[in-house]
Amino acid sequence: MRFAIIFGIYGVALGAVATAAGAFGAVLAWTAASCLLVATAYATDRPRLLGKQDDGTQRLGAVQRAAFVEFVARRSAAAQGSRA
């Protein structure tokens, strides 16, 4: 429960700062949402919210694979753009 409280406080604080941060506020809002998701996962004792299995191991989920595929695609496009 300690981690739920800590991440909850971070999430609320970052959310408050994000509203006054202007253009940089989007980055802070994203971080605040991430902290609140982690706080929710710890508070409700639901490791699946963090992509973990019940035994604590992390599985490579569809979102992680999609992010990796996008990363590889962008790297190859950037490499081909630099050759032209």
**C-alpha distances in angstroms, 9 versus 13, 30, 32, 43, 49?**
6, 15, 10, 13, 19
Q: What is the pLDDT of residue 53?
A: 75
- pTM for the structure as a whole: 0.64
Q: What is the pLDDT of residues 12-66, one digit of tens each?
A: 999 999 998 888 888 889 899 989 999 998 899 887 777 777 777 766 665 677 6
- Please tell me which residue, 32 or 80, carries the higher pLDDT value: 32
